[in-house]
Amino acid sequence: MNIEEYSKWVEDKIVTEGHARLVENTLGLVGEAGEVAEKVKKMLRDGNKVAPMDIIKEIGDVVFYCTALANHVGYDLRTVIDINVVKLDDRQKRGVIKGSGDNR
C-alpha cells in the first residue's frame, strides 16, 4: 500500500467529524505517542523484555493518527513528509538542527 492508498484507508476508519474529529485525532496521536514512550521505558527499565514489534505496532498507531490529522487539516501524509524534509534539511544546513524553538 502506498501513502496515498493508506491515507484513503485511514479516512474509511474515521468515525468523528468537525471539531470532534480534530480533538479525537489530536488526543489519539498524543495517546499513542505516549504508548510508544511507555514501551521504550519498559524496555530500558526491564532490560529488553519488550519486543521491538510491540513498539512498531504502537508507532503504526501514531502514523494512523498523524495521517488522520493531516487529512483533516487539508494535507496528505506525502506533503507532511516533504515539508518536514525541507524544514530539517534547512536547519541542518544552517547548523541549528540541535537547537530549540520552532522558528530557528
Total-model pTM: 0.89
**Domain ranges within the chain, ordered by starting residue:** 3-93
The number of helix segments (H) and strand segments (E) in the chain equals 4, 0
Query: How many Å apart are CA 36 and CA 30, to the nearest integer?
Result: 10
* pLDDT tier for residue 50 given thresholds of 50, 70 and 90: confident
- Specify the CATH number for 3-93; select among 1.10.10.10, 1.10.287.1080, 2.40.50.100, 3.40.710.10: 1.10.287.1080
How does pLDDT run across 59-82, given as a tens digit for each residue?
999 999 999 999 999 999 999 999
Query: Which H or E run includes 72?
Result: helix 52-72
